[in-house]
Chain A
């Protein structure tokens, strides 16, 4: 974990006091509704269909056991006993009372948590690879750089009233697990030909109603120049981003209308003025942040354990879990264990207070007191000794947290949809449950292999449908819920936007359409090694389209 020092803590405490005062003045009629809205959004508070919704920040997805316990406490004390993990590594509560939100924020502050800038037209939570620090394929741990960026962005006075929200994600691997290319800024930590550490900067990616893949505007930015360069990008955006139309206000539109090359020139010109100023990092700034992260002492004899392999051999249910939910850790003898929040019949990303506490206990006993929230709405115990994985699995299974489906079709991403969200046109949770019902055979799911279905209840795209291998978008047609389907999207290093199959499909037929898409893939694929995405890119839309809209097919 990053451990707050007294200054980090003081800032969060002062923010709680500030918001308490703002809430009191609002309730006393001293702040107009629309202005309080802007203030509460910057503290994570929305007003949703049934009640306020509070979005709590989990910077780069990292959580300590005591924080998980506090999230459980908030769920019980202020909500209906559960929370919902989002696609940006945050957690949302759907039933808090406006008057009590300052108390929730004070409780969160007591464990170094907050809801600062989780909404509103400002710089949002900094996200990263959920496997940061434990992945075998990473260049360096990106989290200290995320934390530096978090501190720079927190209450940044110049960038609190941007044209639109602004999302920054970091990746330090060649396998992008943070969907960086669909962020306003995607930062890839890289080394140049001389072996120096730095960043490749992508700008102007985004989802929503005009999805776009980010443009590379700087191939190599030296390590110490991170914040001055980000400041230059934000200053250009704050000055020139469109404010006349909310749907054209994201930086992606500015980059598109200006042209990426011209936009890059403007950033470079601004950066030239500030790069050697106060924002230039010193090596000791980076060292300080690194020193505030806990070091984990790995046991050198962990790999000598033989029980892990023995359990895999003797217990087929455990073997299934290991196959899908356990990945290699960079240290020998340790494993990365995925906690699935996608049980059959459940709501993707939902977790109860009791489950949060179980994960907290397991993290404390077996994973250095840390867990991670993933962009796919699951949790990870990142550093479990292989001898303990069996015990962890047994405990997870008891609480319905061990569904062996990570990366499979039923591990789908889904926004809250019409069930909770006031923006939604259509339900998404019910559709995900219908799809789950159709694909209830684990053997068949394994056979289909790696595939991402992503679903959003409206074109704002919180469920990232445009970058799903199969994307499903809820639309309203004359008061009825219909669904547009896209194929071939990807959030990885080969990021791409999905292509539409054709007319929208009715609520009654959408699960059938998914089943048909899968059956075409199973027939067309050259081997089990050809993934859905590879297959789609090879054969194209035609066979899928023909089957989905065949005569006996779905109503469209």
Chain B
């Protein structure tokens, strides 16, 4: 199984992926597709249950938000190395809707050299591609220690650094 990095820590990946045609065995933590969630929300949800939703990268978050807002975990897809659509989805979830739950990246692009960008747009857990070394990946988050753009992480912003330098000077 691929390694999961969650909030900067290597952790066990304990959520069960329930395929669209698989029967629900009532496990406590499951991940279902947005399509299945849309159809079976009433029956899948339960008081002791944590249902996460996997969102295709072609979905507009503005449209899907009512279905996602109560999920503790949203899974975003990076189906190929160069397909960056889910970066915008994460940014909209955090920046526009103030989503505070877990956003998890999965797919071919979840590699060392994209982790910092994913982290910057608000993704806080990563199912590493099978060939990735978790320790090398953890170091990726330290490649830069400041940034020009306001985003959904805590890297110091050049604009604020300049303002405080100006105020101090």
Q: In the complex the two chains form, is A14's CB within 8 Å of B109's CB?
A: no
Q: In the complex the two chains form, is B146's CB within 8 Å of A158's CB?
A: no
CA distance A159 to B92 in the complex (A): 13
Q: In the complex the two chains form, is B161's CB within 8 Å of A7's CB?
A: yes
CA distance A255 to B34 in the complex (A): 29
Instruction: Please tell me which stretch of B42-50, B66-74, B113-121 contacts chain A, meaning at least 4 of its Cβ atoms lie within 8 angstroms of it.
Output: B113-121
CB neighbors of A among B64-98 (8 A) = 81-85, 87-88, 91-92, 95-96
B150 at interface by CB-CB < 8 Å: yes
A285 at interface by CB-CB < 8 Å: yes
Q: Which residues of B contact A274 (CB under 8 A)?
A: 95-96
CA distance A238 to B121 in the complex (A): 14
Minimum C-beta distance from A149 to chain B (A): 11
A157 touching B113 in the complex, CB below 8 Å, given contacts A121-B82, A238-B87: no
CB neighbors of B among A122-167 (8 A) = 151-152, 154-162
Q: In the complex the two chains form, is B162's CB within 8 Å of A157's CB?
A: no
CA distance A158 to B118 in the complex (A): 8
Q: In the complex the two chains form, is B87's CB within 8 Å of A161's CB?
A: yes
Instruction: Please tell me which stretch of A34-42, A196-204, A475-483 contacts chain B, meaning at least 4 of its Cβ atoms lie within 8 angstroms of it.
Output: A34-42
Q: Which residues of B contact A277 (CB under 8 A)?
A: 95, 150
Q: In the complex the two chains form, is A152's CB within 8 Å of B148's CB?
A: yes
A243 at interface by CB-CB < 8 Å: yes
Minimum C-beta distance from B104 to chain A (A): 17
Q: In the complex the two chains form, is A155's CB within 8 Å of B84's CB?
A: no
Among the listed B96, B120, B149, which residue makes an inter-chain contact with A273, where contact means beta carbons less than 8 Å apart?
B96
Q: Which residues of A contact B60 (CB under 8 A)?
A: 239
Q: Which residues of A contact B109 (CB under 8 A)?
A: 161
How many chain A residues sit at the interface, stated as a range, is 35 or more
Q: Which residues of A contact B30 (CB under 8 A)?
A: none
Q: In the complex the two chains form, is B113's CB within 8 Å of A35's CB?
A: yes
Q: In the complex the two chains form, is A7's CB within 8 Å of B84's CB?
A: no
A238 touching B113 in the complex, CB below 8 Å, given contacts A155-B144, A156-B149: no
B143 at interface by CB-CB < 8 Å: yes
Q: Nearest residue in A to B149 (C-beta to C-beta)?
A: A156
B111 at interface by CB-CB < 8 Å: yes
A162 touching B146 in the complex, CB below 8 Å, given contacts A7-B158, A22-B113: no
Q: Which residues of A contact B162 (CB under 8 A)?
A: 5, 7, 288
Q: In the complex the two chains form, is B88's CB within 8 Å of A285's CB?
A: no
Minimum C-beta distance from B20 to chain A (A): 23
A238 touching B82 in the complex, CB below 8 Å, given contacts A161-B109, A285-B159: no
CB neighbors of A among B119-151 (8 A) = 120-121, 136, 143-151
A18 at interface by CB-CB < 8 Å: yes
CA distance A18 to B143 in the complex (A): 6
Q: Which residues of B contact A31 (CB under 8 A)?
A: 113
CA distance A15 to B144 in the complex (A): 8
Minimum C-beta distance from B60 to chain A (A): 7
CA distance A155 to B158 in the complex (A): 13
Among the listed A14, A15, A238, A279, which residue makes an inter-chain contact with B84, where contact means beta carbons less than 8 Å apart?
A238
Q: Which residues of A contact B148 (CB under 8 A)?
A: 11, 151-152, 154-156
Q: Nearest residue in A to B145 (C-beta to C-beta)?
A: A14
Q: In the complex the two chains form, is B150's CB within 8 Å of A278's CB?
A: yes
Q: Which residues of A contact B145 (CB under 8 A)?
A: 10, 14
CB neighbors of B among A262-309 (8 A) = 273-274, 277-279, 285, 288
Q: Pick 7 A–B contacts, CB within 8 A, sort by A.
A: A11-B148, A22-B113, A31-B113, A38-B82, A155-B147, A274-B95, A274-B96
A30-B136, A162-B84, A273-B96 given; 13 more Cβ-contact pairs under 8 Å: A7-B146, A7-B162, A8-B158, A11-B146, A11-B148, A35-B113, A38-B81, A151-B158, A161-B83, A161-B84, A238-B84, A239-B60, A239-B85
